[in-house]
Structure 1
Amino acid sequence: MTVKRPEWQQYQHEVAEMLSELGFTTAVEERVTGVRAAHDIDVTARITSAGIAQLWIVECKKWKRAVPKERILTFSAIVADVGADRGLVFAENGFQAGAIRAARNTNLTLTSLVDFRHNTADEVAAMKVKGLQERITALENKFHSIWDLTEEERDKRIAQYVGPSGFLNLPPGHSAVISHILARLSQMKEALNFARFNRWPVFHWALDDELPITVNAWPGLIYITEETVATCERIYDEMESPQTQVKDWRELQSQGMTELLTKIRQPKVN
């Protein structure tokens, strides 16, 4: 027999599922230890952006009345005690005026399921975009810094390059081979910028494709960009300090990304 969750508990799971859809790792009714005490949190949401882990904690109020100021002040203290980056209070019947004033100019957000989905999806995407752009810029700088090395060290690094050389079919060890990967990094930054200004669809070039992939929404763009940047980072790491006998850069690409590209490239059957 299936046991139906109480309404308040179902509300917690609905909030957790929505945050998961935005890319957070979530847990329902998790005990979090703070500086002064341990707290039972309705929903915890974790995400890493630009290598920095963030913790959001959530209180869910499935009440028939508006949430009062006192509840917000208590939750604010919990947010501070556990060192959360952000605290969210979800309520479908609103908040009293005092509660809204208490949350103003703090790291608290008072919201509902509909309002959060509408207002925060773009905010979360922007946070991820910022992190991705920082990673891309850092990687571009690393590749460009190769030219600051001595000629001997530079030739050694380039000889260890296992990434794609583009469509000029340049031989291994040729100094121009890394221009292809730099072009792809630049194209990814451009695609992210277009998406930030809602200029959909945007185009993504896989590392070994001459024709771009059309992307129509944030989830797909974030995933395919994160995976491609991670592959480029591994290619650079192999140049700097080869750990394995990698012969083909595709060995450094995740299986999920390889499977996705294979599916995209399959000819459509009418």
Structure 2
Amino acid sequence: MSGLGFDTRVDETIEGARAQHDVDVAARMRIAGVDILWVVECKAWGWRVPKERILTLQGIVDDIGADRGLVFSESGFQAGAIRVTQNTNITLTGLEDFRLNFQDEIASTKARILDERISRLLQAFTTVWDIEESERQAAFARYSGPSGFDVLKGGPHAVVGVTSCLSQMRRSLEDARFGRWPVAYFPLDLVDGEIFGVRDWEGLLFIVEKSVVTCERIYDHMVTPEASPVDWKTLQPPELISLLSSIRGR
């Protein structure tokens, strides 16, 4: 799991809401500002893992607020154990199955968290319309991001330059979750209708996360009364600027 980006600790004691729990492995990861915790049990038994053991783990996962519980067993699982994990956050697996399948699942988890972050940001841009009119006009006047269309530049609807890109990012993440590679990505500083084709999770998650950071900075600048005028391109993370420059330089 360390190879998948998790910070793993073996034989850790974790404080829950009702009790302390000893777990075989605690795997942590921070995704887009959100802390993820997976609890892992490794069963080197010569028989199939029973339902009771799975229910115990489910109780631990619930008590400590873990995002997922995994049970590794090369001997398999009893039918009752498999049945009680349906539609839950408990996964029963073996080492080889985990290696083959969980990299995409972790990427999908990262995509889901990014999608939720984008949704919150879109809602934040929308709620600017709900503030008092003079403050709203001042906020839109401070908007420094791309306008999307020249006719919108300088007006309250100029924010469509950011919100449309955020919506396109959500579509790109959805396409990736359904395996529709290569996935289309539209940069914020769109040049002559260019579209980038992203071919893997690593590249997509990187470019979307850095683009979301840029959009968050554009929003923060817009709603900060004392903010001075700024070129929005300077709000981009250096890694994103470098990546886009290298792509366009090909």
TM-score, structure 1 length as denominator? 0.74
Distance in 1, Cα, partners of 2:139 & 2:132? 11
1:31–1:39: 8 Å Cα contact kept in structure 2? yes
- Structure 2 CA distance for partners of 1:243 and 1:88, relative to 1, 3 Å: farther
Match for residue 92 of structure 2?
110
- Counterparts of residues 65-76 of structure 1 (less than 5 Å): 65-69=46-50, 71-76=53-58
> Do structure 1's residue 177 and structure 2's residue 193 form an aligned pair?
no
- Structure 2 CA distance for partners of 1:212 and 1:102, relative to 1, 3 Å: closer
Match for residue 60 of structure 1?
42
Distance in 1, Cα, partners of 2:98 & 2:92? 9
Q: Provide the aligned C-alpha RMSD in A.
A: 3.2
Cα distance, 1:244 vs structure 2: 5.3
Aligned to 2:183, which of 198, 202, 218?
A: 202
Distance in 2, Cα, partners of 1:16 & 1:247? 40
Cα distance, 1:123 vs structure 2: 3.9
- Counterparts of residues 90-129 of structure 1 (less than 5 Å): 90-97=72-79, 99-101=81-83, 103-104=85-86, 106-129=88-111
Cα distance, 1:169 vs structure 2: 9.0
> Do structure 1's residue 16 and structure 2's residue 2 form an aligned pair?
yes
1:177 partner SS: helix
- Structure 2 CA distance for partners of 1:39 and 1:119, relative to 1, 3 Å: same
Cα distance, 1:215 vs structure 2: 0.4
Distance in 2, Cα, partners of 1:160 & 1:175? 10
1:200 partner SS: coil
2:139–2:225: 8 Å Cα contact kept in structure 1? no
Distance in 2, Cα, partners of 1:149 & 1:64? 61
**Of 234-243 and 244-253, the range deviating more from structure 2:** 244-253
Cα distance, 1:71 vs structure 2: 4.7
Match for residue 212 of structure 1?
195
Cα distance, 1:206 vs structure 2: 1.4
Aligned to 1:233, which of 203, 212, 216?
A: 216
Cα distance, 1:242 vs structure 2: 4.9
- Structure 2 CA distance for partners of 1:117 and 1:146, relative to 1, 3 Å: same
- Counterparts of residues 116-155 of structure 1 (less than 5 Å): 116-149=98-131, 151-155=133-137
Match for residue 232 of structure 2?
249
Match for residue 241 of structure 2?
258
Match for residue 11 of structure 1?
none
1:142 partner SS: helix
Match for residue 31 of structure 1?
13
Match for residue 174 of structure 2?
193
- State the AA in 1 paired with 2:76: G
2:92 partner SS: strand
1:16–1:28: 8 Å Cα contact kept in structure 2? no
Distance in 2, Cα, partners of 1:89 & 1:244? 51
1:39 partner SS: strand
> Do structure 1's residue 45 and structure 2's residue 31 form an aligned pair?
no
Distance in 1, Cα, partners of 2:208 & 2:241? 13
1:227–1:257: 8 Å Cα contact kept in structure 2? yes
Distance in 2, Cα, partners of 1:74 & 1:145? 44
- Structure 2 CA distance for partners of 1:100 and 1:195, relative to 1, 3 Å: closer
Unaligned runs of 5+ in 1: 1-14
Unaligned runs of 5+ in 2: none
Cα distance, 1:150 vs structure 2: 5.2
What number of residue pairs does the alignment pair up? 245
- State the AA in 2 paired with 1:84: A
Cα distance, 1:59 vs structure 2: 1.8
2:142–2:229: 8 Å Cα contact kept in structure 1? no
TM-score, structure 2 length as denominator? 0.79
